Each structure stands twice: as C-alpha cells, then as structure tokens.
Amino acid sequence: CCLQGQIKLPHLCPAPTILQNLLCGDNPMSKAFLKDIRQYNAALAFTSLAVKVDEAITNSSGSYCFRVSGELHHQMGSLLANEGENLSYAQLYIHDPEEALSMRNRRNPNLKSEIM
C-alpha cells in the first residue's frame, strides 16, 4: 500500500470541540447526533448525490454499503434560488444564517435544532 510506505498522508487536524463532544460524548445530545448522523451530514451538504441503489447489496446483512456502476456525479444547482423556490444545499451558505438554519430545521423536523 502507498508505494511501500513512501507516501505518507498528513495527520488530520483535530475536530472542533463541539463536534468532538457530539462524536465521543455520552449524553442525550451526542446519542441523538450519532443516531441520525447521516441525516445531519445530508442536511449540511453543499451538493446532493444520486445513485441507482442495487437492492441486492443494500438488503444484505453487515455494514451498510452501496455499489456504484459507471460514473459518480454530485448534483449542484445554482447559487441563487429561483423566485418562490426554497433554498437548498450551497444556497444555504450564502444567505442569512438564521434563515438558513430555519430552512434546515423545516426540512429536517426530526433533527435537533440545537445541533443544527
């Protein structure tokens, strides 16, 4: 692997304290975060990922995985929403933070707004 050790990746910077507490904590907030971690990740994403799911793989036992045949694409829309359209993905990062948080909370009512 890695050209017999010739390639060395730099160490990652430590996660911000609040994220570290959510990932490693033993409290109700941390447990709620870990239970829905994939949905929090999707709610805070810049782009979306669309794939055709192979049910033969996803319905098997073991760790969750999915197989992609062909090319993988991230879908990214305009940075400006059309009039009357709700903001989504990267659009949420260039608008008022309170409006963006409100939009994420409306789209994800089962997630804790304190974590968002």
Which pLDDT tens digit goes with each residue over 54-77?
A: 677 666 676 666 666 666 666 666
pLDDT at position 23: 95
pLDDT at position 63: 67
Q: What is the CA radius of gyration of the chain?
A: 18
- CB of 30 within 8 A of CB of 23? yes
Q: What is the mean pLDDT of residues 88-110?
A: 76
- With cut-offs at 50, 70 and 90, classify the pLDDT of residue 33: very high
Q: Residue 75: beta bridge partners?
A: 48
